[in-house]
Amino acid sequence: MMARSVLITFVGLLVLCFSETLAKAEYLKYKDPKQPLNVRIKDLLGRMTLEEKIGQMVQIERANASADVMKQYFIGSVLSGGGSAPSKQASAKDWVHMVNKIQEAALSTRLGIPMIYGIDAVHGHNNVYNATIFPHNIGLGATRDPQLLKRIGAATALEVRATGIPYAFAPCIAVCRDPRWGRCYESYGEDHTIVQAMTEIIPGLQGDVPANIRKGVPYVAGKNNVAACAKHFVGDGGTTKGINENNTVVDGHGLFSIHMPAYYNSIIKGVATVMVSYSSINGEKMHANKKLVTDFLKNTLHFKGFVISDWQGIDKITTPPHANYTYSILASVNAGVDMIMVPYNYTEFIDGLTYLVKNNAIPISRIDDAVKRILRVKFVMGLFENPLADLSLINELGKQEHRELAREAVRKSLVLLKNGKLPNQPLLPLPKKAPKILVAGTHANDLGNQCGGWTMEWQGLTGNNLTSGTTILTAIKDTVDPETEVVFHDNPNAEFLQTHQFSYAIVVVGEHPYAETNGDSLNLTIPEPGPETIKNVCGAVKCVVVVISGRPVVLQPYIDSIDAVVAAWLPGTEGKGISDVLFGDYGFTGKLSQTWFKSVDQLPMNFGDAHYDPLFPFGFGLTTQPVKA
């Protein structure tokens, strides 16, 4: 009897072990890269609870992404807001370790769905210490060089991946119709054809779409590429008076012929995600606009990636923001927003969305659509096969080849607006050999000023200790003849100028860094002491004024006193791109992608308008020939 009961126990144990092994070895189609994409999505979706689905739709700030939070709420995505880094001056290695730690928490959940980490790499990997900072988009638009944009995209992707991050919230494909807008520098120009051409940055970031892929399906080539994000859908550059996040008043023709075309190119190029704009179209908030987000973007354009909200974007559906959060969740999710950027109040969002689904205010089919799209992007990116970053790319961050590329971009972005008081007496290119020259202005020796907003911090910083790069002053000193004496004074007075004999002066002035609403300006003047420096220096010495700005600014009444004017936009870390062209190692080739107005009273004013009477028209740019050594 005893032997029999032992045998039964033994057999029972065997069966138990066998069934456990079977369960462990259960074939999970979604984990098999050989399975077709849609089979993997369907298999995984079928295994998910409502909690797990809603977790996928949530993107939280890095500071909140503890292991416990990731596991408890099945969080699908994490981001770094502007300036949100693991530590001050964090290295690529520090970033990789932080991202992997968060990822490990996501992978330890029941289904092991990897999270996707996103960051605003909008002009290079601009939140990260030591990264290459490229010119902002307005300067890149002036290059008229889509292939350059593609190379910048590829370099940026490598630097972002160097820090373990697979997703960049770029490019901004806004069409800036009014330079009073604080985000105008994030636009490639006022003309949609330029913006369309510059979407070539997308295959740079993501890789070239294979010929056989269906249009509208997201595509990311591999571990050296990142998922891109076309933003901000749609009409963000057309708001009344350029007021950020405001209302764009536009008829159907204007919407589809000016603001929408670059989205067609982006979708054809396989862009993985689209971010919704804070702004409204004819009074309707884009975050609640089902007609444009679902009916047009998803159903008409067949966009198959995911749609993401902007930072706390759904809160702003109501005035004041967050006034009726349940309504904001309902309106945005039903409009077709798939992933919600809720940096801080994620539990409130999760509870609200769960309640709305359980009470049939949001159909489960809408949740499934959102989750399918998010999973599609994760599968396409290879996140399931390679969820953790390694250290193999850390030397890509800020590497010399990327800095050379940024320097080339600076050269090509410079627009020469004036060259000499008389047509036959040009000032530029400047001679490298001169007894003594003056470099003046608030922006000549300030790396932060030349990088602008979205650099290390959300609003940018002034000064030279934000990251590594070359100021314009350093670039000039490195370029002129060793015998030439370079005198720097940020704001010289008349007495100082009389006591020196300068061969010529380079005055570098412009706007201070800003981002978004902080940059909205109704006067567009160069802040003091810029105008004073121009008046003092150009009244006493032959001068070239280099304007560092995110858009055209007021140049009247001092333009007549200036010998030469260069629009240098926001060039980034590589100041040598400016000295390369000022001294004639390369010629000026850039063309305005924004109309340069005479007075702000003319705004908005775009090429083709009946009242078009600019100081310098759209497409303007003088050229010079390189000096033969």
Which positions are annotated as active-site residues?
Answer: 310, 516
Angle at Cα 226 formed by Cα 224 and Cα 229, nearest 5°? 160
601 exposure class (CB count in 10 Å sphere: 0-12, 13-18, 19+): exposed
Q: Which residues pair with 68 in a beta bridge?
A: none
The answer for residues whose C-beta is within 8 angstroms of residue 628's C-beta and 6 or more apart is none
Burial of 465-483, coded b for 16+ CB within 10 Å and e otherwise, reads ebbebbbbbbbbeebbeee
d(CA 327, CA 315): 9
Q: Is the dihedral of CA 285, 289, 291, 294 positive or negative?
A: positive
Q: How far apart are the first and last CA of the chain?
A: 105
SS3 content of the chain, % helix, strand, coil (to 5): 40, 15, 50
d(CA 553, CA 15): 79
As given in the structure block, the two tokens for residue 557 are: 């009444």
Angle at Cα 511 formed by Cα 595 and Cα 138, nearest 5°? 40
Q: Count CB neighbours of 142 within 10 A.
A: 27
User: What string of DSSP letters covers 300-366?
Assistant: IS---SEEE--TTTTGGGSSSTTTTHHHHHHHHHHHT--BEE-SS-HHHHHHHHHHHHHTTSS-HHH
As given in the structure block, the two tokens for residue 48 are: 């998910």
Tell me if residue 193 falls in helix, strand or coil: helix
Which of 269, 288, 267, 268 shows the shortest CA–CA distance to 277? 288
User: What string of DSSP letters covers 493-534?
Assistant: -HHHHHTS--S-EEEEEEPPP--GGGG--SS-PPPTTHHHHH
Sheet holding 77-80, edge to edge: 167-168, 116-119, 77-80, 58-61, 340-341
Distances (CA, A) of 255 to 269, 309, 608: 21, 20, 16
As given in the structure block, the two tokens for residue 611 are: 């009242």
Which of 34, 94, 40 shows the shortest CA–CA distance to 62? 94
Do 111 and 54 touch, CB atoms closer than 8 A? no
Q: For the chain, what's the residue count? A: 629
Which of 232, 432, 382, 373 shows the shortest CA–CA distance to 316? 232
Residue matched to tokens 């870390």: 573
Q: Count CB neighbours of 116 within 10 A.
A: 27
Phi, psi of 601 (to 5 degrees): -65, -20
